[in-house]
Structure 1
Amino acid sequence: MGKIRIVTDSTADIPAELREKHGITMISLKVLFGEEVYSDAVDLTPEEFYARLKTSPVMPTTSQPSPADFVEVYESLLQEDPEGPILSFHLASVLSGTYQAATIAKSMLEEAGEHIHVIDSCSASYGHGMQVVLAAEMAEAGASVEDILAAVAKRKESCQIYFLVDTLDYLQKGGRIGKAAAMIGSLLNIKPILSLEPSGAVTSVDKARGSKKAMAKIVELLKNHFGNQAVGLIVAGTDDEVIRDELEARVKAELNVKEVSYTTVGTVIGTHTGPGTSAVFLYKV
């Protein structure tokens, strides 16, 4: 068996330096401002995106890669090493057709496709990204495909994800909530606490009046789940470092955090959550 290669898409929100360090191949989704098309994490940085999002009269939209995009990447990797397995991790299939496009590409490659394993992360942002990085680290250490997939499944099962959005407007514009609910929520300064179901679908688990009460609720939810177990923490933000840093400090003060890393909520996920979003991803260590 050849070397295991890791493929993912840009919604994993893996920092560029980590992708380069582990040799992770990334396929970008697209972000569109009207007729202008950008490749996520390639020619539109999160900083540029969030600055534009606040002022643009046109709401951005997103689009997934095509099966042909995946075929091109898979063929390139298979030419380098025809026997090397490819583990291809993608945004939850309930949120995007990206996983389906990868699956179609695998079938188009016929016998060569037997070396490709397409995995539905059932997650988004770094809930997805942490699975990819873990797989890459294990592949570098010489683990088998079976051991990698088992470890990823275990990490996914232990992970708890909470998003705190600054405004309900982008959820409403994306069809996640109704216009009336968004208007009332904005008037009352309601901050919804979002999470992901096991399938990866976005769900509202609670809400609070104001950011501080919402952060306190997130910490309470995490304490109820993990107790004093040792956990790893990934902190993700957009353009509001104050909220992100306070959320991190509250989690570290109340839970048994053993390792911390950071990322930025990328342009595709940010299209649907908006600026001012912060998130925490916790998992057992």
Structure 2
Amino acid sequence: LMEIKEGASEFHVREIDVPAQITESNSVLLSKAKNILDRSRQLFSRLPDQNILLNIRFRKIPSAIEEKAGGERLGRILSMIKAGQSVEKVINAEEMSRPGTASLLADLLDAGILEIPEYEIPEPNFIDEELVSFLKNTEKQGLTGILKIGKHQVKEAIYFQKGDIIHAYHGRSIGKKALYRILSGKGGQLSFQSQAIIIQDTIDTPLSLLIEEGDKEIETLQRLKRGSFECAVSINAHKPEKFFQISDHLGLVYILSLVQQYGRVKDIIDASQMTDLETYKYLLYMFQKDILFVGTEKKSKIRIITDSAADLPPEIIHNHNITLAPLSVSIGQQVYLDRIDLPAEDFYRAMKHSDRIPQISPPSEDDFHQLFRNIVPKEDVLAIFLSGKMSRTFHHASAAKKKNYGSYLRQRQKQQGADSRLGFEIVESGLVSLGMGLLVTEAADKIKKGGCLEEVRDYIRELIPAIQIFFVADTAAYLNKGGQIGKARTLLGNFFHTKPILVIQNGEMTLIDSVRGTKNAQELVLGLIQQTLASPETPIKVGVAHADAPELAGQMKDLLESRLNCRDIIMSLIGPVIGTRCGPGAVAVAFFPMSDNE
């Protein structure tokens, strides 16, 4: 099961009356499974192709390997290899699990019982012969250094470590995407510089497979109609149920986010971190599933941009023409894009198993420039970002606008005429989580009703002071780690046995109280909301978000609905910005009073 990377799971609480077949503890099982997976990956990295046939050198099996696999099972696997069955067929024969069989084959190779036959790299048909010859020679000589190719305005290079390709870049692209783009080019001067390489690996595939895969990708892309790359694609908002069918597939969700930002197939492929063919296949799949259609919908002339700290659920983002600028989350040595390749469940699971607080970084000035330049030719911009005291997101976006506004205006005028003007407003909300999320949805509703950019900007600026947001942390441990409680720890005494209550004041998270027990904490939040309302009948719009605590969020929602006049409640997940401060188990409640005519 550990090799499965996607899908849904259910846990059923019930009495179990079956004979015990597993006696080890969970930690021992997980450790063994990890070792098996690591060994299976090592096997695949050594093989040029899973369809290859292995050779048996001799049958004197070390006792450790025989005990690991079992004598009869090992005999059947060796018989399959002797009969000329490929590695892929042996692994799928269900003698053991796929990773288990792969791990066993790796052991047999290390022991010299099996050997990989000499494998000739297939001659490519669509890759430059001189470049392929150079790559083979570099591998054969085991060279370490950088190969630079001088042929186009785009900068490109391939990095080698002892003959293996470990990294490549082509313009802004890296990894296999960059390598295959380099391989698709013709001509150019090759310049190799021997030097020590200190860079994170982005490629871990043998040269033979890289050439084979690259040749197939280039051939397939060349057969596609070039006009298809100029087409615009849009999300089918009339069938939201289709979106939920792919919500667990991170690759499809990632490409869907690029569709919303860029629209044109060529721009989506350029922006994607996947290879060009992988991206095209995902787009084609979603078109076939009626998730996308070719062409553009009639959209609002104002594009709302917000950051992922708004904690808005995916359906609201997609239904309101909202573009999300994801913050980066660093966990150990890994960097993820919030809401793109880091599900909330994985984030909180990582927090629970780490002594270090994950680091949150805003999109860079250049990230915003790339985002803005794809929107301004056709739409005005209303950007709403989290508090500047909690992140530099607003500052980076403002700097990108200030530096590039002239070029944005020229883009607009080239697209829509010399007399065209460009509306471009950036608002610092002073809020976070669903406090900002409510502000963004209000702006989207005003635009849908026909409000112009200046009217919507003025409306949300007036609304900001009316929005309040409270947080109930499950424990003070994360507040203490992040330095959020300061002197309050001393003032409140026995603090770590209570539920901290926090609020956003002047753009910062502030501790205001702490109480014992979940029920008392929920009642306190309810009381704080009631104090701000003119009467219990005052209609309010509410957002309830949670940090991996759906039951607590449901209880909070039920309490608010039973005691207050809630016209609308948005439910969502708390993202990393607040999650790093409050920790797993936290619940957030944001609200603002609505006028009678609303």
Letter in 2 for 1:252: E
Comparing 235-244 and 33-42, the one that deviates more: 235-244
Distance in 2 between residues matched to 1:17 and 1:243, nearest whole Å: 22
Distance in 2 between residues matched to 1:138 and 1:254, nearest whole Å: 29
Q: Spell out, residue by residue over 1:77-125, the C-alpha distance to the aligned partner (whole angstroms, 9 max, x if none).
A: 123x1xx320111010111111000110011113337632110011000
Residue 33 of structure 1 and its aligned partner are, at CA, apart by 0.8
SS at match of 1:77: coil
Identity %: 32
Distance in 1 between residues matched to 2:359 and 2:434, nearest whole Å: 21
Q: Spell out, residue by residue over 1:211-264, the C-alpha distance to the aligned partner (whole angstroms, 9 max, x if none).
A: 221211111111111132111221111212222222222222221222222111
- Correspondence for 2:592: 283
- Correspondence for 1:107: 402
- Correspondence for 2:475: 167
Please point out which of 239, 243, 266 is paired with 2:575: 266
Aligned pairs for 1:38-117 (under 5 A) are: 38-79=336-377, 81=378, 84-111=379-406, 112=408, 115-117=423-425
Comparing 108-117 and 28-37, the one that deviates more: 108-117
Please tell me whether the aligned partners of residues 123 and 196 of structure 1 are also in contact (alpha carbons under 8 angstroms): yes
SS at match of 1:93: coil
Please point out which of 548, 551, 556 is paired with 1:247: 556
Q: Spell out, residue by residue over 1:40-83, the C-alpha distance to the aligned partner (whole angstroms, 9 max, x if none).
A: 0100011111122112344311111111110110111123x1xx
Distance in 1 between residues matched to 2:569 and 2:405, nearest whole Å: 42
Aligned pairs for 1:27-38 (under 5 A) are: 27-38=325-336
Unaligned runs of 5+ in 2: 1-299, 410-421
Distance in 1 between residues matched to 2:591 and 2:488, nearest whole Å: 33
**Dislocated runs of 4+, deviation >6 Å:** none
* Count of aligned pairs: 278
- Correspondence for 2:171: none
Q: Spell out, residue by residue over 1:264-285, the C-alpha distance to the aligned partner (whole angstroms, 9 max, x if none).
A: 1012321221100001111112
- When the two structures are superposed, what TM-score results if normalisation uses the length of structure 1? 0.91
- Correspondence for 1:145: 453
Q: What value does the CA root-mean-square deviation take over the aligned residues? A: 2.0
Unaligned runs of 5+ in 1: none
Distance in 2 between residues matched to 1:180 and 1:104, nearest whole Å: 36
- Correspondence for 2:49: none
Please tell me whether the aligned partners of residues 488 and 511 of structure 2 are also in contact (alpha carbons under 8 angstroms): no
Letter in 2 for 1:194: L
Quick check: 1:21 aligned with 2:300? no
Distance in 1 between residues matched to 2:383 and 2:531, nearest whole Å: 33
Q: Spell out, residue by residue over 1:9-48, the C-alpha distance to the aligned partner (whole angstroms, 9 max, x if none).
A: 1111111111111121111111111110000010001111
Please point out which of 516, 523, 533 is paired with 1:209: 516
- When the two structures are superposed, what TM-score results if normalisation uses the length of structure 2? 0.45
Distance in 2 between residues matched to 1:257 and 1:179, nearest whole Å: 36
SS at match of 1:109: helix
- Correspondence for 1:11: 309
Distance in 2 between residues matched to 1:32 and 1:64, nearest whole Å: 11
Distance in 2 between residues matched to 1:180 and 1:217, nearest whole Å: 18
Please tell me whether the aligned partners of residues 485 and 511 of structure 2 are also in contact (alpha carbons under 8 angstroms): no
Please tell me whether the aligned partners of residues 86 and 116 of structure 1 are also in contact (alpha carbons under 8 angstroms): yes
Distance in 1 between residues matched to 2:577 and 2:431, nearest whole Å: 14
- Correspondence for 1:194: 502
- Compare the two structures and name the one with the higher strand fraction: 1
Comparing 87-96 and 231-240, the one that deviates more: 231-240
Residue 157 of structure 1 and its aligned partner are, at CA, apart by 2.5
Comparing 34-43 and 17-26, the one that deviates more: 17-26
Distance in 2 between residues matched to 1:271 and 1:27, nearest whole Å: 19
- Correspondence for 2:484: 176
Residue 180 of structure 1 and its aligned partner are, at CA, apart by 9.2
